[in-house]
Amino acid sequence: ILAFVTYVEMGTPDIIATPNPLYIDLTSKEVQCSQFSYDIILPKIEPELMTEIKTAKESLIPVTISLKKKLNYRYLKEKFSSFPRLRRRHEVAKILKEFAQEDQKPLLQYLKDLEIQGKVRNIKTFWINNSISCEIAPEELEKIADREDVGYIFKNKKLTLFGTKYLNSQIIGFESAEKDKAIVWNILAIKADSVWNLGYTGSGVLVAHLDTGVNYNHYDLQDHMWDGGSAYPNHGYDFGNNDNDPIDVNGHGTHTAGTIAGDGSAGTQTGVAPDAIIMALKIFDDAGNGDNTMMGQAVQFALDHDADLLSMSAGFPDPNNYIKDWSRQTASNLYAAGIPWIVAAGNGDLYDSEGDGDYHYTIPQDIYSPADVPPPWNPRDGNGNYGGGENAVIAVGALNQDSSRASFSSYGPTEWNTINYSDYPYPPGLIKPDIAAPGGSPGITSLDYSTNNGYVSGGTGTSMACPHVAGVVALMLQKNPSLTIAMIDSIIETTACDLGTSGKDNYYGSGMLDALTAVNATPQNSNFVTGNFYVINSGNATLNVYNIEKHRVWIVDVSPKIFTLTPGDTQIVSVTVDTTLINSIYEDTLLLYSNDPDENPYSERVILTTSPIFEEQRDTRNSTDIKIVSKIIHLYGKEITFILPESDFTTLELFNVEGRRIQLIAHEFMNAGQHKVTIPGNLRSGVYFLRIKQKSFSAISRIIIL
């Protein structure tokens, strides 16, 4: 007798979505969150530093002083969220600089007075996180810690590189570029070569490369290094030696830059985005010594000079709360500015400092900082719960060629349970890394720093994995320069090939990077923004959502549409909308189909409020000074006659009745007076809206085409 036993889950799933409705408001609005936050770590002086003060082995100690008052990055993000990407960067940087300049004045003057006395030297200011570094006499530190405007003080932290020194590698000589270019295995593994066939090579995307410098004369990089003009003739800056020549004398930086953007001119294709522009920011001196101050200066330089993303294969091992908080504050403001920071997860405990033989730090300390900072999209704790705290950092782990985890690759969870950040206490901690890419056996071949046409093989480390992700982000940004950080991270993670435990885990993150699927999933329109709502299973059985249905064309995408939630679990759902609609309020209702017996489908309203069509007038005249002579246009001629009140650069745009722009008719300088233009392309008869803009005026009028 055969008996079949079927397990039946008891209980009922219950779907809830919040906020409902989801408002995506592109108009100017008051920011609701607090403008400032106050960061203090107790004790104010890092314990290790306090011990050093008492022993006083150094006459001057290199320290970082973090001021207590900070600009709230959520305030900055919300205030400028609807701004175009480049303007958003500039506005966030401007406010950060103005705030830091004012807030740092009293402390800076105090330090300069000590400098005159020979008790302080090498003062550096950081507006990216409102801190000051200097070398200072030990006896002065407790006095500074007692100041009301100081949050905490720590000794400058040494940066660590995450790549081998190629001890078992070989230099591969020059090969004729006339031959077919060989493509290294790791580029093929992530399908980057298939993306090039779509026409995306990273062209025009500026990657700030924080490393040991770059051999900018290498044939595979020399024609797409950043043009820094006369101030930065060598394509970047050297913060280790404080000069404008970031030439690489180590090899690590040229290797990682080659994985981002090596174009194969010398015979071998090593780069994911072979036309991306490299900005060389050297954060180590020639002896390989780097610290948090060099990193902080480089981050500011990148933001100041319009980098589209940052790539850094370095970090701080076994980080304490002081460097964690300082790094997270830096990442938070990059997030507000809209710039992704791709960071290697770390190579564990390379020298087995704990003496336990596993060459990894004890959890939750194995992920280095700033890789331990929460990601831009959907951060989760070890129980799968959403904890918020989105930031700029995407952390990258390393894979072998067979897609197994490289043994050295740092793993999570990591922990956030400081005075200032307590969103991911351990246990269960924050899941890290976020994504994985090639960086393990048999090693990565890339550019040789010591020649201008050679290659070096055998490099391993999360250092080698990180630039793969940076390269893919460059490919995505070429396709759509207006992608938000959250969209970038969500696309990379949701299109990855899942490895290890199902879903995101602490060894592989969301899985193996897939360049082709990520770029195909990237929306092409540059006028998209994304809003998020949260689906919660408040029942006591598993909830299966198997489709989300939209109805209006202005909702471009809803993702994910299929997912499973255990009782109490939460899923972020991203709604991407088109922002080119005329000033109005648009509404749609998403239908979420699931196994909830009571609400199927569940309704989630989405309301989009677009930016005003009329711009502010700069003088007493108004937009009626722009006159359209005839509002009835004939199909056979399609001529529009209009009168301009002044000579200026003029834009004419045509919209359909749904508010979607369908034609850019003119975008050129026009003199004051009467003009005639012809509407290009094929149009059907019907009602349209014509917008005419000059610097001081904007007018919109309904026209009829017969």
Residue tagged 């919209």 (tokens): 655
Whole-angstrom Cα distance, residue 334 to residue 88?
A: 11
Q: Is the pLDDT of residue 103 over 60?
A: yes
Cβ count within 10 A of residue 503: 13
Of the ranges 336-340, 394-398, 401-405, 676-680, which one carries the lowest mean pLDDT score? 676-680
Residues 494, 351, single domain; the answer is yes
pLDDT of 178 strictly over 50:
no
Q: Identify the residue with better confidence: 131 or 613.
A: 131
Residue matched to tokens 């919109």: 700
In a domain, 27, yes or no: no
Q: Based on the fold, state whether residues 517 and 537 are members of the same structural domain.
A: no
DSSP for 83-122?
S-HHHHHHHHHHHHHHHHHHHTHHHHHHHHHHHHTTSEEE
Of 164, 141, 110, the closest CA to residue 48 belongs to: 141
Please answer whether residues 236 and 279 qualify as being in contact, where contact means their C-beta atoms are separated by less than 8 angstroms: yes
Q: Is residue 406 part of a domain?
A: yes
- In a domain, residue 492? The reply is yes
150 and 192 housed in the same domain: no
Res. 612 pLDDT band, cuts 50 70 90: very low
Residue found by looking up tokens 């300049």 in the block? 101
| Span 450-459, pLDDT tens digits | 999 999 999 9
Residue 361 scores a pLDDT above 90: yes
Q: Are 242 and 297 in contact (CB under 8 A)?
A: no
Tell which wins on pLDDT, 151 or 83. Answer: 151
| Same domain for 315 and 401 | yes
CATH number of the domain that 589 lies in?
Answer: 2.60.40.10
500 plus 596 within the same structural domain:
no
382 vs 219 pLDDT, higher one: 219
Contact 609/529 with Cβ under 8 angstroms?
no
Q: Which amino acid is at 565?
A: L
Domain span holding position 187: 160-521
Answer for the pair 621, 697: CB distance below 8 angstroms, yes or no: yes
Whether residue 319 is predicted with pLDDT greater than 60 in this model: the reply is yes
Q: Could you tell me what percent of the chain has a pLDDT over 70?
A: 88
Residues 595, 565 within the same domain: yes
Maximal CA-CA distance, the chain: 97
Please say if the pLDDT value at position 30 is more than 60: no
Return the beta strands (E) in 246-320 as ranges: 268-269, 277-282, 309-312, 314-315
317 in the same domain as 174: yes
587: in domain:
yes
**595 and 654, same domain (yes or no):** no
Count of domains forming the chain: 4
Nearest to 621 by CA among 642, 649, 644: 644
Q: Has residue 213 got a pLDDT over 90?
A: yes
Closest CA to 206 of 523, 481, 394, 489: 481
Q: Give yes or no for a contact between 321 and 45, defined as CB atoms under 8 angstroms apart.
A: no
- Name the domain boundary from 493, 521, 549: 521
**What's the average model confidence in pLDDT over 629-644?**
67
Last residue of a domain, one of 609, 642, 666: 609
Kindly state whether residues 293 and 331 are assigned to the same domain. Answer: yes
HEC sequence for 673-691:
EEEEEECCCCCCCEEEEEE
Q: Does position 169 have pLDDT exceeding 60, yes or no?
A: no
Q: Are residues 509 and 550 in the same domain?
A: no
Q: Same domain for 119 and 207?
A: no
CA distance 50 to 322: 13
Judged by phi (left if over 0) then psi (alpha if -120 to 50, else beta), residue 355 lies in left
CA distance 91 to 84: 10
Least confident of 63-72, 143-152, 650-659: 650-659
CA distance linking residue 285 with residue 265, whole number of Å:
29
pTM: 0.77
Does position 502 have pLDDT exceeding 70, yes or no?
A: yes
Query: Please, which pLDDT band fits residue 9 given cuts at 50, 70 and 90?
Result: low
Q: Which residues are bridge partners to 468 per DSSP?
A: none
Between 184-198, 448-462, 487-501, 674-688, the lowest mean confidence (pLDDT) is in 674-688
Q: Tell me if the bond preceding 680 is cis, omega within 30° of 0.
A: no
Q: Measure the N-to-C terminal CA separation of the chain; round to a whole number of Å.
A: 81
pLDDT band, residue 31 (cuts 50/70/90) = low
CATH code of the domain covering residue 631: 2.60.40.3080
Listed residues 155, 172, 189: the one ending a domain: 155
538 and 450 together in one domain? no
Confidence grade of residue 693 (pLDDT, cut at 50, 70, 90): confident
